[in-house]
Chains A and B, each alone.
Chain A
């Protein structure tokens, strides 16, 4: 039944294949463009972090590690880096713990207004970081809590808890119910069931939630800026450096931050998704 149309198109075989070639070329171009659009700024940043000379602008004068040297020599930057790391790890651990407990309760028990509670837990995802930061600032002022890295951590728990809850809740299937029941039947208390059975079974999604929280906290600026005072996180420190003009050091520290995020993503990919590919 394809016969008539085939005879009809024999005289335009060449344009047909040319069109296919063009389509293929265009889709390749699109691919290159989209990845270029995403990664070109990063590539430029990384390239000019190795710039030899005073200005981080084209042309590229030559390869040098001087900016990295000065970054590692800068005690304020290094202190901010350590602060960022600490806030990211602590706030992510707390977010995962609270998210896990909330998910466990909502998945396993019949609670009053569970749909509403689930909605309220996820709702902060839809609120902008600026609003969250301003709200927290007002509350902290009212309670006369001094701003510190702790208050930044609280802010990061607020933004990461909905994420951790959603990821862990989604992986809590009914197929785990009988396994938990078996553990209880064999004498495990509720706390032991959670610690020895439920949490280890959900470890892939708990780890995914943890690493995503880390990257979000690591990059976050507005909350960290508004809720900190003397000790600041890395994005805030970089921002204050930028105020005093364009500086190749910012390219170097930016490249390092990017590298850290890439490492976390690679670890995530290898540790979790690599393992889940096995049956």
Chain B
């Protein structure tokens, strides 16, 4: 079972603190949504409101087109998987997974059969008679998932479910979680502060900061065409350059920057059509710097390499542009490139990978 979720001007305040500030979101049935943001950005508050554990100060939540105002957690078609798994320590796994079915009045034989099926789904059928303390962290996480799915929720809410696992197990569980979501088709809303995790599992990512939605879209859109400086910075390393829009043509505009003029397609201005004279911030990912070739932007300043480290897939270089020596840029040069400190290289990048946003003061 699955359902759509629609959130309209949702606000939640704690005393004077605005945890959520006018949030609008439309989640389609069967989507895997990740709420991404730093701690204190409101993502867990939003999840708690969806689950019914917190009431919004204002605004509405509709699940499957039904208004959720005043509906307690038990009567919602959502289940929550808690960060600490919240397994019942005194019950065997099969009773943990069957608990929701027991509360729905299912008799022991049928709920044991169904619970065993869900334990099988997460690969723990042989451990059905064990107690939670006999399991590893990853196994407990799987039991919590099976228990939440056993009641056939329309929407599964996951509160940093992978936070307590080590990195390797985490990557493995991400793949399992995604595969499982595809199989059961339930709408998943998953909270995390790890942008790699978000990119690995999400159909769409909601980037949040200070209780607001900064960006919402598929991982590649948010990475390549972020709609805010915060979203650009949170999704990965990025260089910011401030500039002023010069000549605007029908499908491209020129931007004057510290390192020279850059001509960008209009589509790279993600918020609004650029106006001549407007101040903008240019976002360039380190990997978009490249060796000079026919597709790249010409006429940029040269730069001095101040520092190089080899990362296997690339060389990570710190660059100081000659035209603006106090500015530091980070660039990833290809594995095969030969770069050394004090080298003077021509700056160049593919304009397709560059985004221009209305200016916010540089950090």
Q: Is the CB of A186 within 8 A of B82?
A: no
Cβ-based interface call for A182 (8 A): yes
Known contacts being A186-B79, A187-B74, A188-B74, is A181 close to B86, with CB within 8 Å?
Answer: yes
Q: Is the CB of A179 within 8 A of B100?
A: no
Residues of B within 8 A of A184 (CB): 72-74
Cβ-based interface call for B51 (8 A): yes
Q: Is the CB of B90 within 8 A of A179?
A: no
Residues of A within 8 A of B53 (CB): 181, 185
Q: Which of A161-209 contact B (CB under 8 A)?
A: 175, 178-179, 181-189, 192, 196-197, 200-201, 203
Cβ-based interface call for A245 (8 A): no
Q: Is the CB of A187 within 8 A of B90?
A: no
Known contacts being A188-B103, A197-B88, is A182 close to B133, with CB within 8 Å?
Answer: no
What is the 8 Å Cβ interface bit string for chain B, positions 74-90, against chain A (1 contact, 0 not)? Answer: 10001110111011111
Q: Which of B144-188 contact A (CB under 8 A)?
A: 147, 151
Cβ-based interface call for B99 (8 A): yes
Cβ-based interface call for B361 (8 A): no
Residues of B in contact (CB 8 Å), total 24
Q: Is the CB of A187 within 8 A of B103?
A: yes
Known contacts being A181-B53, A192-B103, A279-B133, is A186 close to B147, with CB within 8 Å?
Answer: yes
Q: Which of B50-92 contact A (CB under 8 A)?
A: 51-53, 72-74, 78-80, 82-84, 86-90
Q: Is the CB of A187 within 8 A of B86?
A: no
Residue in A175, A185, A203, A279 whose CB lies within 8 Å of B51: A185
Closest to A197 in B: B88
Closest to B91 in A: A200
Residues of A within 8 A of B99 (CB): 183, 186, 188, 196
How far apart are the CA atoms of A200 and B96 in the complex, in Å? 13
Cβ-based interface call for B104 (8 A): yes
Closest to A278 in B: B133
Closest to A199 in B: B90
Interface residues of A, Cβ cutoff 8 Å to B = 175, 178-179, 181-189, 192, 196-197, 200-201, 203, 279
Beyond A178-B84, A186-B100, A201-B90, list 16 extra A-B contacts (CB 8 Å).
Answer: A175-B84, A178-B82, A181-B82, A182-B82, A182-B88, A183-B99, A185-B79, A186-B79, A186-B147, A187-B103, A188-B74, A188-B103, A201-B88, A201-B89, A203-B90, A279-B133
* Complex A-B, nearest 8 residue pairs according to Cβ-Cβ distance, in ascending order: A186-B100, A187-B103, A182-B86, A178-B86, A200-B90, A185-B73, A179-B86, A187-B74
